[in-house]
Amino acid sequence: MSDTRDTLDARDATDASLIGRTIRDKYVMIRRLGEGGMGRVYLAELEKARARKFAVKLLRPELTGDASFRRRFHDEAQHQAGLDHENIVEMVDYFELNGDYYLVLDYVDGQPLSDMIEAQQGKGLPEKQALSIITGVLSGLDCAHQKGIVHRDVKPSNVLVDARGRARITDFGIATDALGLTRTRGGQVIGTPEYMSPEQLSGHAAIDHRSDVFSAGVMLYQMLTGQLPFNGDSFQSIQAQQVSSPVPNPRSVNPKIPKRLAEIVRRAMQKSPADRFHGGPQFIAAIESYRRRGTWKYVMVSACVLAAAGVYVAQATVVNMHVVREAVHTAAHDYNILCREQQLKVKNQNGKAISDKAGESDLSETFTRNIRRNDQNMRRGAREYGDVFEKMTQINQWTVRHALNEVDPVPDMAPVRQAVAADYDAYTAHGARPTVDTMLPRCQALGYDWKDQ
């Protein structure tokens, strides 16, 4: 009881020392908004423009007390400050002040998704609303994944829904990025077990963007049913269910959920990352297909049937074009992730060299594990990248080439699309399946440069 009292007293003292103050000569601290896994959050206003509001996060000492965290704070915060997407709460500033570490984010006048779910009292959200929210979340996550950032703590309390109904992801904490810690100094796992993927709970080294896909699947399950798929009285109980128990069917809780929608939820929650959606775009495509009451398999078969029957094949081309565009986007995404993984590997190699020189064996071993993880992720990424081409060969080449030649809606992705087109040509002409060794040389031409890192 005394420990709890001491903690509360410390929080009150910190609040008293911050509220009403102007920190960094620009942020006027107004009041405490709440407390999350990464630390306490305060409402602040810009001193010279009081209408501009921010959420200032004071990070927990358990995180900032770690030497590795402190070394990486500014570099990784700068990387995440580059996440500019309508479904992400933007980080606008970050700094260290008198030994405390702060993140400054745009203030969102919205409601946490966790409160919205709780207000339904176990009944779940309307399907249309749930699908709209999860689509926004997946879109924001894809933006982060394209930059090599894995959230690792996707859950309803980290999603704010604004007055327009738009979902905004928050807590892209620098303690949980693709290079970061998965545990605090005391060994505590970072994340909320009910939403964590089996590989996270198992302490697996190779955590990638598909871990966020799993967590998004759990969120969608909860939004549709009002209940969590796995629950328990202890971390160990939840861990055992997440890792070993069969993936539950949301229809067992809410029989009104259509079978096809339940299949989408269950695919996102598969135990093996390889059995889930490859990323946000594929997950979104499945939801959009469900909304139109079509499926990938149906589109692929119907095109062949229409052509064989002599029916006007333009119909087949129209439906197939959506499939190809999604495949091209997936391939470009996989290529981008592979290049980013190599960039992270070089950072780890440099960190290991510095650690070896300084005689820090424990830190050196951490970098060694990260390097092995980078290699595993790149091999898996190249394999999945090649799998996309196998799917493309099931569609006529004119449709594929038309999709490859389209102007990419994201300008930065245009060079990646060109690399995908070159690999598609090699695959169709010679059956040459891409490998890590054949893909990496193009990465520097795509804007990745790891020579000076």
Q: What pLDDT is recorded for position 169?
A: 94
Q: Are 416 and 332 within 8 A, CB to CB?
A: yes
Supply the DSSP string of 378-438, one letter for each residue: HHHHHHHHHHHHHHHTTS-HHHHHHHHHSPPSSGGGHHHHHHHHHHHHHHHHH-----HHH
446/116: higher pLDDT: 116
Asked whether residue 304 carries a pLDDT value surpassing 50, the answer given is no
Measured CA to CA, the distance from residue 75 to residue 343 in angstroms comes to 14
Supply the DSSP string of 56-93, one letter for each residue: EEEE-HHHHT-HHHHHHHHHHHHHHTT---TTBPPEEE
- Per-residue pLDDT band at 348 (split at 50, 70, 90): confident
Tally the C-alpha atoms within 13 A of residue 381's C-alpha that lie toward its C-beta.
33
- Per-residue pLDDT band at 2 (split at 50, 70, 90): very low
- The residue assigned the tokens 């390097």 is 371
Measured CA to CA, the distance from residue 414 to residue 249 in angstroms comes to 40
273-301 pLDDT, tens digit per residue, is 888 988 898 899 889 888 876 444 433 33
Q: What pLDDT is recorded for position 411?
A: 59
Residue 120's contacts (CB-CB under 8 Å, 6 or more residues apart) are: 226
Measured CA to CA, the distance from residue 309 to residue 136 in angstroms comes to 40
Q: What pLDDT is recorded for position 321?
A: 66
Residue 429's contacts (CB-CB under 8 Å, 6 or more residues apart) are: none
Measured CA to CA, the distance from residue 286 to residue 302 in angstroms comes to 17
Question: Tell me, what amino acid is at 381?
Answer: G
pTM comes to: 0.66
Nearest Cα to Cα of residue 194 among 244, 239, 129: 239
Nearest Cα to Cα of residue 336 among 437, 447, 434: 447
Q: Kindly provide the b/e burial profile for residues 155-186, where b requires at least 16 CB atoms within 10 angstroms of the residue's own CB.
A: bbbbbbbeeeebbbbbbbbbbbbbbbbbebee
230-255 pLDDT, tens digit per residue, is 988 888 888 888 888 899 999 999 99
Q: What pLDDT is recorded for position 224?
A: 97
Tokens (6 digits) for 258: 């259509």
Q: Can you say which residues are annotated as belonging to the binding site for ATP?
A: 57
Residue 403's contacts (CB-CB under 8 Å, 6 or more residues apart) are: 321, 324, 325, 327, 328
Nearest Cα to Cα of residue 337 among 143, 119, 104: 143
Residues 115-141: what's their mean pLDDT?
A: 94
Measured CA to CA, the distance from residue 75 to residue 351 in angstroms comes to 13
Q: Is the dihedral of CA 16, 18, 22, 26 positive or negative?
A: negative
Give the β-pairing of 49-59 and 39-46: antiparallel
- Helical H segments across 192-277, by residue range: 198-201, 209-225, 235-244, 259-268
Q: Can you say which residues are annotated as belonging to the binding site?
A: 57
Asked whether residue 200 carries a pLDDT value surpassing 70, the answer given is yes
Asked whether residue 181 carries a pLDDT value surpassing 90, the answer given is no
- Per-residue pLDDT band at 6 (split at 50, 70, 90): very low
Q: What pLDDT is recorded for position 173?
A: 57
Is 227 in a helix, a strand, or coil?
A: coil
Measured CA to CA, the distance from residue 266 to residue 249 in angstroms comes to 7
Measured CA to CA, the distance from residue 402 to residue 416 in angstroms comes to 16
Q: What pLDDT is recorded for position 295?
A: 43
291/126: higher pLDDT: 126
Is 43 in a helix, a strand, or coil?
A: strand
Catalytic residues: 153
Q: For the chain, what is the mean pLDDT? A: 80
Asked whether residue 414 carries a pLDDT value surpassing 70, the answer given is yes
Q: What pLDDT is recorded for position 384?
A: 84
